[in-house]
């Protein structure tokens, strides 16, 4: 029996999150990185994706393709930020691991341990099921472990993710092939549900003359053998047939095995090649010779061994309807002398572990319903590439989440669940008018090792971000949909202040103020300037500063704080390391007499923010802005200085002559400037001996 579910509705998401197959809170983890809270960033990653180490290296990052920052200069490098997070939270990640004791009394088998199968295992373990993974190889990970070259994905990164999953209590039976060591029938008898996630582990070959010659290698087998330390002997000239990512991986792998000339022949033009464009570029840098618009006609052999390949020119790959239907100019041919040929024209599942009495199959494909992930047998589900066809790791992870959901529903109700059709609404592109006013910030790209050096071995070719690079890149995020909002229409007098100060021309007033979420860049100037304090930022609690200060001071002893006591507002965006972004200890505050408050742009501070610290016992408030001309938001410095001047006058008028409110700017290096500024601030203060020390 099947139960139907309505279309799933969502509030508009940032474009990056909407484009991610698992809808990772990309905006959230970029913000967490910018604030030095790498542990919170990791938590956000793991909420959506149990393979952040893998995706930090090999994800094709569809999130970046849709990043609205590209309308200003270039997308935020979200993949590299993900990698930075996982590489800088390893101890925290291991400490947070916990075992989930099965509490539902039901058992689920996962056949296959690729990203889809392990994601399903991860989710089902969290749901309280005893989950068992059957893997025919000695190592978990599927294609991630056995076909992705080590220069792209080192085993230690994959193992970090897998260890997280196993720590939940997932049981792994490696070296156990279904159909040989145990049958599907036996698994079904001892489990309440089964998920088939065996992937596409076999290469498709071409039925052309000479295809059975010695030296013709299937692409997946070739990569599998190399990854497992059993590379085949290769000659001086190797040709790869295919234009996808597997083909490029095979070509680059052959280059690293010492092959002097590696050719890659594909039907597609350079623009049509399905491999990721950066992979193609890196391959060309490494000396791979790409022959676009050429297809194989016949494999030439000598004494049964490969001697060359005859190619024919491909004039068209797809027909008018976009279907794969290659056309050739049979009169235009060329011949290449080569020693080996690696075929990477497609993949298929190895279904020999099942028979047709156990599961329905048709023309070598497992029959399953894409809407319910159900196979022909009740309680047996499928997920990953065995069901969807070739795809990316993050797409397999998304499908693994769906499989766990379908299994959970079945085990709780006995019914099949029609998975809801997602209709993800997003913000759309950043309006050109707004984009033209945003300050450009150069993108930080990954540093690659020299092509001649990196082809000598299988060492990882990409260097991770250092902390300064990660902080600077994270701060390029526009915080889409986390900008200003009117807290109450009753608080708005229609004074036009917000419209007047908005540097991007976003705020408008028609009876009451409006700041469209799809346009606002979260500068916070309208919130700081609103005379009724009726505007607040979603991203930064502009109306919560007093509460924040109380919380920061809660553990201190007023009588122990060194006088004069300074509350210093510092621009968060200038820091180059998290040491200044971490909460201060009680001892540090008391012994230094300085409470450091990191603010994402001090231009967001309102007049109340400037004077309320004196209620909490401060002798001085020091506002330390970034160096001249460095602020992200046009006009912010002038407005802030005006608010400081007004606050200084207010303090004088109410008789707080002792209260010192100072405005400073950093020089070239913010973190080096701050101690000197604090020293100067303290030098200028002469607190009255009779002033109440702390309230």
Residues 323 and 386 grouped into a single domain: no
What number of other Cβ atoms are within 10 A of residue 331's Cβ? 7
Quote the pLDDT of residue 542: 65
Domain finish residue from 348, 373, 398:
348
Quote the pLDDT of residue 364: 81
Quote the pLDDT of residue 668: 76
Domain finish residue from 423, 451, 471:
423
Is residue 477 domain-resident? no
For residue 510, list its beta bridge partners.
512
Range of the domain at 115: 2-199+359-423
Residues 522 and 411 grouped into a single domain: no
Is residue 472 domain-resident? no
Residues 319 and 369 grouped into a single domain: no
Is residue 469 domain-resident? no
Quote the pLDDT of residue 130: 98
Is residue 431 domain-resident? no
Q: pLDDT tens digit string along 517-532? A: 899 999 999 999 999 8
Residues 611 and 671 grouped into a single domain: yes
Quote the pLDDT of residue 10: 52
Domain finish residue from 348, 374, 392:
348
CA 270 → CA 244, 247, 274, distances in Å? Answer: 11, 14, 9
Residues 230 and 376 grouped into a single domain: no
Quote the pLDDT of residue 9: 40
**What 8-state DSSP symbol labels residue 580?**
G
The CATH number assigned to the domain holding 55 equals: 3.50.50.60
For residue 161, list its beta bridge partners.
none
**Residues in the chain where the model's pLDDT stays below 50:** 1-9, 687-695
Query: What does the alpha-carbon distance between residue 181 and residue 167 come to, in Å, rounded to a whole number?
Result: 26
Query: What does the alpha-carbon distance between residue 17 and residue 597 come to, in Å, rounded to a whole number?
Result: 30
Residues 51 and 135 grouped into a single domain: yes
Q: Is 681 helix (H, G, I), strand (E, B) or coil?
A: helix
Is residue 463 domain-resident? no
Residues 502 and 573 grouped into a single domain: no
Alpha-carbon 44 to chain mean position: 10
Is residue 465 domain-resident? no
- How many domains in the chain? 4
For residue 463, list its beta bridge partners.
447
For residue 307, the surrounding DSSP H or E stretch is strand 305-318
Residue 346 Ramachandran class (φ > 0 left, ψ -120 to 50 alpha, else beta): left
- Edge to edge, the sheet with strand 594-599 lists 594-599, 566-571, 620-625, 660-665
Is residue 660 domain-resident? yes
Residues 106 and 53 grouped into a single domain: yes
Residues 312 and 380 grouped into a single domain: no
Quote the pLDDT of residue 684: 82
The CATH number assigned to the domain holding 533 equals: 3.30.70.20
Is residue 693 domain-resident? no
Contact 83, 42 (CB under 8 A): no
């Amino acid at each position: 029996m099947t139960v139907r579910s309505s279309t799933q509705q969502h509030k508009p998401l940032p474009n990056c999150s909407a484009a991610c197959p698992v809808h990772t809170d990309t905006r959230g983890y970029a913000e967490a990185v910018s604030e030095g809270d790498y542990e919170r960033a990791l938590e956000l990653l793991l909420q959506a994706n149990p393979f952040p180490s893998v995706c930090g290296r090999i994800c094709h990052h569809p999130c970046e393709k849709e990043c609205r920052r590209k309308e200003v200069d270039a997308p935020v490098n979200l993949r590299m930020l993900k990698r930075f997070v996982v590489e800088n939270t390893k101890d925290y990640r291991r400490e947070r691991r916990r075992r989930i004791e099965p509490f539902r009394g039901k058992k689920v088998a996962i056949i296959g341990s690729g990203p889809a199968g392990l994601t399903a295992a991860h989710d089902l373990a969290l749901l309280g099921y005893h989950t068992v993974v059957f893997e025919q190889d000695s190592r978990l990970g599927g294609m991630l472990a056995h076909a992705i070259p080590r220069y792209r994905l080192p085993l230690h990164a994959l193992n970090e993710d897998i260890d997280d999953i196993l720590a939940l209590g997932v049981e792994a039976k490696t070296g156990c092939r279904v159909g040989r060591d145990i049958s599907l029938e036996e698994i079904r008898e001892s489990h309440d549900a089964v998920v088939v996630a065996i992937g596409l582990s076999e290469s498709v070959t071409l039925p052309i003359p000479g295809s059975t010659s010695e030296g013709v290698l299937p692409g997946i087998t070739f990569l599998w053998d190399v990854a497992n330390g059993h590379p085949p002997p290769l000659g001086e000239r190797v040709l790869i047939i295919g234009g996808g990512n597997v083909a490029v991986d095979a070509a680059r792998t052959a280059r690293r095995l010492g092959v002097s000339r590696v050719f890659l022949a594909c039907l597609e033009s350079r623009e049509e090649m399905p491999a990721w464009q950066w992979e193609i570029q890196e391959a060309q840098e490494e000396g791979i010779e790409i022959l676009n618009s050429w297809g194989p006609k016949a494999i030439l052999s000598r004494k049964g061994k490969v001697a060359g390949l005859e190619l024919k020119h491909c004039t068209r790959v797809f027909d008018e309807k976009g279907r794969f239907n290659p056309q050739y100019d049979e009169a235009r041919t060329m011949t290449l002398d080569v020693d080996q040929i690696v075929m990477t024209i497609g993949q298929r599942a190895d279904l020999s572990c099942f028979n047709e009495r156990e599961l329905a199959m048709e023309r070598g494909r497992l029959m399953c319903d894409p809407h319910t992930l159900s196979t022909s047998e009740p309680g047996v589900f499928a997920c990953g590439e065995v069901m969807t066809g070739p795809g990316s790791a993050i797409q397999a992870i998304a499908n693994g989440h769906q499989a766990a959901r379908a299994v959970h529903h079945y085990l709780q109700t006995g019914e099949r669940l029609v998975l809801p059709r997602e209709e993800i609404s997003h913000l759309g592109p950043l309006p050109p008018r707004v984009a033209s006013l945003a300050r450009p910030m150069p993108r930080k790209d990954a540093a690659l090792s020299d092509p001649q050096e990196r082809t000598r071995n299988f060492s990882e070719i990409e260097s991770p971000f250092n902390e300064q690079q990660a902080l600077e890149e994270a701060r390029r995020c526009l915080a889409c949909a986390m900008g200003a909002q009117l807290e109450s229409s009753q608080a708005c007098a229609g004074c036009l202040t917000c419209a007047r100060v908005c540097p991007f021309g976003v705020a408008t007033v028609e009876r009451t103020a409006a700041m469209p979420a799809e346009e606002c860049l979260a500068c916070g100037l309208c919130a700081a300037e609103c005379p009724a304090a009726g505007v607040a930022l979603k991203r930064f609690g502009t109306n919560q500063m007093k509460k924040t200060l109380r919380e920061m001071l809660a553990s201190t002893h007023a009588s122990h704080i060194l006088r004069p006591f300074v509350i210093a507002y510092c621009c968060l965006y200038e820091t180059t390391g998290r040491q200044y972004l971490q909460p201060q200890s009680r001892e540090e505050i008391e012994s230094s007499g300085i409470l450091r408050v990191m603010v994402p742009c001090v231009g967001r501070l309102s007049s109340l923010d400037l004077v309320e610290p004196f209620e909490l016992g401060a002798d001085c408030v020091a506002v330390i802005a970034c160096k001249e001309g460095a602020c992200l938001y046009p006009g912010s410095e002038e407005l802030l200085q005006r608010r400081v001047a007004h606050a200084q006058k207010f303090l004088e008028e109410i008789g707080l002559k002792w209260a010192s409110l100072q405005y400073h700017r950093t020089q070239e290096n913010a973190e080096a400037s701050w101690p000197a500024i604090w020293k100067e601030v303290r030098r200028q203060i002469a607190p009255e001996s009779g002033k109440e020390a702390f309230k």
